[in-house]
């Protein structure tokens, strides 16, 4: 028993050291990626499998490896962009028409997750995500000048605790989750693992108008009733000070403070249906007041134009996916509306102009939308029926506009209106590993330069415990 425990702990230490683990994710992931076709919940945040089957017996053990879940996912991407990334490429497009472009390598997401079943319906899940390699910060002694200590930022990136929750399961139909959770509004937030979309990066439309992956601290009620799955969530509302023209409300979930401001609360609801074999459809929505939801609140006089401003954000999404016989088809549509958009734009433009201010001080559109669809076929399927290896040829189309202004807006940023066409290959040597290649082109209105690009990527998602 000691030898087995030592060996198991050594394995856990090794896997954690490479930072590529994701834990506690549902067995739903295994089902969703299986070609047998019974599409369970596509929601890809950490969920304990089949909550009605959780062990309810009381155990005297303080810790049991059989109750621990460890797994992970990660992505590495090389991209060659055949266009300029200069900040003035839209305002002075003619200057960058013949730009040679630039290349880059990236680690979009590397995730470490742990899950544990305490028994009696209680479980927990955590997710630590390293985006773009994380932050590499060091203190060095400068030998060539005065020998002073210097604070060096060696690499940009982010490290985030994207999930930390406790869950009580009363049965398959009713579960309560409390803590830091994923807000599954939209197709990408609901299925964000790299083995579950074909593009090297997450699909561009939703990624550019909604927080992604959207995670907040709150409470969730969810369950499965027959062929239906529901989830209702209460979380802090977005912060309108962080909205902008390029990403609409995407950055509204960010906080530069050591806490998340929650002057206003918001609600989200998701419903999924699996009544048709191999086919799933889902809808989701979000509503919350976003103005004055920052660390500094303002009391406005009765004569102030901001007295009744709420900045209500309403988002609605719809999606579907089909997978069978080597064919995969997916589609999504998202639309969002921001109340009081003109007043919020005026307020944001006049935000604190100190250099360290986190506010973008940008205009924001009254609405934003994204629509996308993709189709893929496993061209190795006619050669075998086992599905041991898969080679998907896929095509994808995205349309999105992150700035749809009000009728009387003074500015219309037409470069925010984009079409994207992508053609590529996904090779799965095994189910948990994928190698990706794609060529994509972003089409803008005629006064701007189109943006072609080529990408290569490798990714995996898998489990290290059962």
Q: Is residue 387 part of a domain?
A: no
One DSSP character per residue, 51-77 reads GGGS--S----S--GGGEEEEEEEEEE
What is the token pair recorded at 73? 């996912």
CA distances (Å), origin 405, targets 92, 286, 313, 365, 372? 22, 21, 15, 5, 22
Q: What is the spatial distance between Cα 168 and Cα 170, in angstroms, rounded to a whole number? A: 6
**Domain encompassing residue 300:** 2-86+99-130+158-368
Q: How far is CA 84 from CA 22, 234, 264, in A?
A: 36, 42, 40
DSSP letter string over 286-339? Answer: EEEE-TT-SSS--PPPTT-TTTT---EEEEEEEEEEEEETTEEEEEEEEEEEET
| Domain annotation covers residue 318 | yes
Which residue stretches of 327-459 are H helix?
A: 341-349
The answer to the question of residue 209 being in a domain is yes
Total tally of structural domains belonging to the chain: 1
Nearest 5 degrees, angle CA 47-CA 226-CA 278? 75
The rounded average pLDDT for each run of 10 residues, N- to C-terminus, in the chain (466 residues) is 43 37 37 39 38 41 81 95 92 90 93 92 92 64 50 64 93 97 96 94 95 95 98 97 95 88 96 98 98 87 90 98 96 97 91 69 94 96 78 98 88 93 97 96 95 97 80
- The two tokens of residue 367 are 């609405």
Task: Decide if 365 contacts 389 (C-beta within 8 A).
Answer: no
Any domain includes 314: yes
- Report the pLDDT value the prediction gives residue 143, as an integer from 0 to 100: 47
Q: Which two tokens stand for residue 59?
A: 């155990």
Q: What is the CATH number of the domain that holds 298?
A: 2.40.160
| Cα-only R_g, the chain | 23
Burial string for 367-396 (b: 16+ CB within 10 Å, else e) reads bbbbbbbbbbbbebbeeeeeeeebbbebeb
Extract the tokens encoding 206.
């939703």
393: β partners: 377, 425
Task: Return the closest-CA partner of residue 137 out of 156, 120, 121, 123.
Answer: 156
Can you tell me the distance from the alpha carbon of 72 to that of 463, in angstroms, rounded to the nearest whole number?
A: 6
Residue 383 in any domain: the answer is no
Q: Kindly state whether residue 355 falls inside one of the protein's structural domains.
A: yes
| Domain-located, residue 264 | yes
The answer to whether the Cα torsion of 182, 185, 186, 187 is positive or negative is positive
- Residue 327 has what pLDDT? 97
The answer to whether residue 353 sits within a structural domain is: yes
Cα gap 29→193, rounded to integer Å: 9
Do the strands 149-155 and 158-171 form a parallel or antiparallel pair, or are they unpaired?
Answer: unpaired
Q: What is the pLDDT of residue 10?
A: 42
Q: How far is CA 93 from the centre of its chain?
A: 31
Q: Which residue has the tokens 């300029």?
A: 84
- In three-state secondary structure terms, 389 is coil
3-state SS assignment for residue 348: helix
Taken in order 345, 350, 352, 355, the sign of the CA dihedral is positive
């Amino acid at each position: 028993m000691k030898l087995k425990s030592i060996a198991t702990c050594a394995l856990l230490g090794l896997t954690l050291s490479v930072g590529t683990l994701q834990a506690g994710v549902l067995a739903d992931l295994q089902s969703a990626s299986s070609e047998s076709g019974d599409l369970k919940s596509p929601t890809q945040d950490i969920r304990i499998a089949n909550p009605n089957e959780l062990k309810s017996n009381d155990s005297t053990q303080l810790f049991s490896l059989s109750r621990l879940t460890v797994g992970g996912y990660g992505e590495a991407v090389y991209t060659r962009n055949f266009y300029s990334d200069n900040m003035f490429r839209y305002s002075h497009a003619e200057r960058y028409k013949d730009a040679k472009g630039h290349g880059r390598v990236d680690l979009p997401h590397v995730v470490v997750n742990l899950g544990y079943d305490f028994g009696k319906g209680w479980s927990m899940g955590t997710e630590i995500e390293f985006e773009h390699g994380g932050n590499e910060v060091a203190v060095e002694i400068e030998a060539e000048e005065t020998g002073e200590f210097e604070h060096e930022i060696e690499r940009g990136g982010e490290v985030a605790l994207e999930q930390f929750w406790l869950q009580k399961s009363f049965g398959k139909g009713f579960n309560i989750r409390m803590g830091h959770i994923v807000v599954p509004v939209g197709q990408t937030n609901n299925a964000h693992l790299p083995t579950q979309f074909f593009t090297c990066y997450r699909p561009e439309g939703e990624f550019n108008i909604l927080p992604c992956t959207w995670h907040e601290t709150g409470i969730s009620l969810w369950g499965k009733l027959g062929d239906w799955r529901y989830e209702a969530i209460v979380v802090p509302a977005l912060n309108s000070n962080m909205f902008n023209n390029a990403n609409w409300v995407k950055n509204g979930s960010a906080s530069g403070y050591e806490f998340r401001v929650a002057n206003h609360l918001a609600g989200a609801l998701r419903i999924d249906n699996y009544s048709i074999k191999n086919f799933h459809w889902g809808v989701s929505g979000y509503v919350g007041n976003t103005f004055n939801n920052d660390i500094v609140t303002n009391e406005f006089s009765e004569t102030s134009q901001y007295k009744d401003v709420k900045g209500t954000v309403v988002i609605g999404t719809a999606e579907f996916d089909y997978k069978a016989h080597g064919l995969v088809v997916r589609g999504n549509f998202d639309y969002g509306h921001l109340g009081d958009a003109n007043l919020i734009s005026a307020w944001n433009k006049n935000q604190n102009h100190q250099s360290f201010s986190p506010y973008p001080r940008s205009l924001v559109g009254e609405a934003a939308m994204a629509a996308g669809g993709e189709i893929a076929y496993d061209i190795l399927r006619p050669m075998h029926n086992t599905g041991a290896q898969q080679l998907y040829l896929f095509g994808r189309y995205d349309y999105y506009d992150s700035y749809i202004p009000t009728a009387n807006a003074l500015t219309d940023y037409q470069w925010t209106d984009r079409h994207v066409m992508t053609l590529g290959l996904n090779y799965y040597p095994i189910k948990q590993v994928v190698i990706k290649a794609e060529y994509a082109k972003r089409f803008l209105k005629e006064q701007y330069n189109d943006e072609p690009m080529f990408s290569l990527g490798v990714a995996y998602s898998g489990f290290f415990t059962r």
